[in-house]
């Protein structure tokens, strides 16, 4: 009888949520200091739990690599670096050596939180008109699939910087698992097989090196379950393990990169590789409902606009609204429009352009925007423009999150930009190249591959870093980490991260429930509200009557990997919007070892 009552209660909770009347019914309302650490029975989905450390990433083998490093005594940074190199082997559509990214690191004992910028850089030979065709208009082929689309890679330098400054293990220790995976081979997954025989196949086959790496000698893809060996990538990883960044930015690997450029009209030179620098920046910070949000600063636009939207929404009684009700989604949509309008004008590389970060994340500016929002009707995007002044006051990317038993946390997002980058690999070195230069504005007002508009702040310049939407974020309460999250998805990253944070903090959902709720996305232009399956049709009808134009969403909105911590218990989830990921705990690794 008890089980029957529990089942009926759960079904009632889900039904109420679906019709938009559940309020906080789907969440765990027991997050107080004296509450039990685990969620109640009314949660629809449960995460993986741990006391000893956890890694959540988009690929299970890579998560296991990181968790095994934690089990061996490494800290969160050691595990994050090991996971990053492992993803270069097991998740080649986004895990990489030839791309770049952003990492937010928190060291609990010192209470130090830093942002590590290892974003790709425009080669010295770049110029602002390099992606314009003969007609003076942007040519997507140049910025997305040509060798000129490749920015100077930052991933190797960034991971090694983090390890050397904040890790405890040697390069050889954290890189050996990735080397073994590449050298001994991994089992071809259904997910990767589908990509290699699907829409990415022709682009990869056009490049000799990519064809030899990803396909059999007869040109056919490896079947699920077959062993895929990456000998050239293993050699590159060994060089990095032995020689540090010089194993990539100098010597045989650097020679191979430059030779690839020269063969196909690329711009990267030996000097570009030697000069690449990792920057440690101060994160952007804000308070939201008593929580401290710490996230990535420019050249990421993600952190600035995440905080801008949270500031706007903090002025509403969100907890009185039902999650994913029309009233709630309307407020989110309006906040998104204003943030993405400002993104189009004000965001770029802060070393080249004076980004008004403090103005954009100020509470007074949020108050000003909120005063323009009609809570009953949509404001057309044509009536929303980037701010001219501020009130003064006195797609394919992957994310992973790591937490260790000492409370150290890493939130890391890195990318090749498009899935499999520009499709070209480095002959003899075993890795793909990025097409990150498409994240610059080829021409003011022209959209990139994600439909995002940009202006002078993000114009192409030598040694400049292109604007990004990557939003690795850590949330604190009273000095303790409560959440590390982030997502891939191009333009959709910022809105996905915001909705996970709101679900977890406002509606007190566990991290699994918070992650798997259906999401919406609006990026100002085009003036369309995109939504995932699971949003009630009745809710969408109300949104249309409020003046929102609904758009077709061809992709999911983000694919996050998050870890959370409440009352000493860690929890984690790899988003199921893409197959193959896992949150792996130290306890799981020990259980495997004991079998």
**What is the number of alpha carbons within 13 Å of residue 358 lying toward its C-beta?**
5
Q: Which residues pair with 48 in a beta bridge?
A: 572
Q: Tell me whether residue 456 is exposed, middle or buried, using C-beta atoms within 10 angstroms of its C-beta: 0 to 12, 13 to 18, 19 or more.
A: exposed
CA dihedral sign of residues 207, 209, 212, 213: negative
Separation CA 586–CA 484 (nearest Å): 17
Give the CA dihedral 151, 236, 171, 414, nearest 10 degrees.
30
Q: How many CB atoms lie within 10 A of CB 10?
A: 14
Residue 135 CA to its chain's centroid (Å): 35
Q: Collapsing DSSP states into helix, strand and coil, what is residue 278?
A: coil
365 within 8 A of 359, measured Cβ to Cβ: yes
Which residues does the annotation mark as catalytic? 397
Largest Cα separation within the chain, whole Å, is 75
The C-alpha angle with vertex 349 and arms to 343 and 352, in degrees rounded to 5, equals 120
336 vs 162: CA distance, rounded Å: 32
Per the listing, tokens 């056009």 go with 206
Q: Cβ(553)–Cβ(518) under 8 Å?
A: no
To which residue do tokens 């439909």 refer? Answer: 451
- The token duo for 414 is 């890195």
Q: How many residues does the chain have?
A: 595
CA 364 to chain centre: 28
CB 442 within 8 A of CB 436: no
Look at residue 589 and give its three-state secondary structure.
Answer: helix
- The CA-CA-CA angle for residues 40, 43, 45, to 5°, reads 130
Distance CA 168, CA 467 (A): 32
C-alpha–C-alpha distance, residues 288 and 297, integer Å: 17
Instruction: Cite the beta strand spans of 486-560 per DSSP E.
Output: 520-521, 529-531, 550-551
Integer Cα distance of 571 and 307 in angstroms = 24
A 10 A CB-CB count for 220 gives 10
Grouping H, G, I as helix, E, B as strand and the rest as coil, residue 293 is strand
* Residue 562: both structure tokens together: 């998050």
Dihedral sign computed on CA atoms, order 463, 466, 467, 473 = negative
Q: Would you call 63 helix, strand, or coil by DSSP? A: helix
563 contacts 403 by C-beta, under 8 angstroms: yes
Q: How many helices (H) and strands (E) does the chain have?
A: 21, 19
């Amino acid at each position: 009888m008890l089980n029957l009552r529990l089942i009926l209660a759960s079904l009632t909770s889900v039904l109420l949520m679906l019709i938009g009347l559940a309020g906080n019914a789907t969440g765990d309302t027991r997050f107080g200091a004296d509450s039990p650490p685990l969620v109640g029975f009314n949660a629809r989905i449960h995460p993986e739990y741990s006391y000893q450390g956890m890694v959540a990433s988009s690929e299970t083998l890579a998560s296991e690599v990181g968790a095994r490093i934690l089990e061996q005594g490494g800290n969160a940074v050691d595990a994050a670096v090991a996971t990053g190199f492992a993803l270069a082997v097991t998740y080649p559509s986004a895990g990489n050596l030839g791309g770049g990214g952003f990492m937010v690191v928190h060291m609990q004992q010192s209470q130090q939180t830093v942002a590590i910028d290892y974003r790709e850089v425009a080669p010295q030979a770049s110029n602002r008109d390099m992606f314009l065709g003969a007609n003076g208009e942007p040519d997507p082929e140049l910025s997305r699939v040509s060798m000129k689309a490749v920015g100077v890679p930052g991933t190797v330098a960034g991971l090694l910087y983090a390890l050397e400054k904040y890790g405890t293990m040697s390069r050889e220790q954290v890189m050996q698992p990735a080397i073994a995976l590449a050298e001994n081979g991994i089992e071809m997954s259904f997910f990767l097989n589908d990509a290699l025989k699907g829409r990415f196949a022709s682009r990869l086959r056009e490049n000799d090196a990519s064809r030899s790496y990803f396909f059999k000698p007869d040109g056919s893809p490896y079947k699920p379950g077959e062993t895929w060996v990456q000998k050239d990538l293993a050699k590159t990883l060994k060089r990095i393990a032995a020689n540090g960044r010089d194993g990539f930015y100098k010597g045989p690997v650097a020679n191979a990169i430059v030779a690839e450029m020269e063969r196909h009209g690329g711009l990267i030179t030996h000097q570009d590789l030697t000069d690449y620098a990792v920057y440690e920046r101060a994160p952007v910070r804000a308070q939201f409902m008593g929580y401290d949000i710490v996230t990535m600063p420019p050249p990421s636009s993600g952190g600035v606009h995440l905080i801008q939207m949270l500031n706007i929404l903090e002025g509403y009684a969100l907890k009185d609204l039902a999650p994913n009700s029309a009233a709630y989604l309307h407020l989110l949509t309006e906040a998104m429009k204003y943030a993405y309008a400002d993104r189009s004008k004000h965001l770029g590389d802060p070393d080249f352009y004076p980004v008004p970060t403090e103005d954009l994340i100020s509470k007074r500016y949020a108050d000003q925007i909120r005063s323009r929002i009609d809570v009953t009707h949509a404001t057309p995007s044509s009536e929303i423009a980037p701010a001219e002044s501020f009130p003064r006051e006195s797609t394919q990317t992957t994310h992973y999150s790591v937490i260790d038993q000492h409370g150290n946390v890493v939130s890391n997002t890195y990318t090749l930009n498009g899935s499999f980058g520009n499709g070209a690999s480095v002959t003899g070195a075993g890795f793909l190249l990025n097409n990150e230069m498409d994240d610059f504005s080829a021409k003011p007002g022209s959209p990139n591959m994600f439909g995002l508009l940009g202006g002078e702040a993000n114009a192409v310049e030598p040694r400049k870093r292109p604007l990004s939407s990557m939003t690795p974020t850590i949330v604190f309460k009273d000095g303790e980490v409560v959440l590390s999250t982030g997502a891939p998805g191009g333009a959709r990253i910022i809105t996905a991260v915001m909705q996970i944070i709101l679900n977890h903090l406002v509606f007190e959902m566990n991290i699994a429930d918070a992650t798997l709720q259906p999401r919406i996305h609006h990026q100002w232009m085009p003036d369309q509200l995109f939504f995932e399956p699971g949003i009630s049709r009745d809710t969408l009808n109300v949104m249309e009557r409020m003046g929102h134009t609904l758009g077709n969403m061809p992709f999911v909105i983000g694919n996050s990997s998050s870890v959370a911590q409440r009352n000493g218990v860690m929890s984690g989830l790899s988003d199921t919007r893409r197959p193959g990921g896992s949150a792996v705990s130290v306890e799981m690794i020990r259980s495997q070892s004991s079998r």
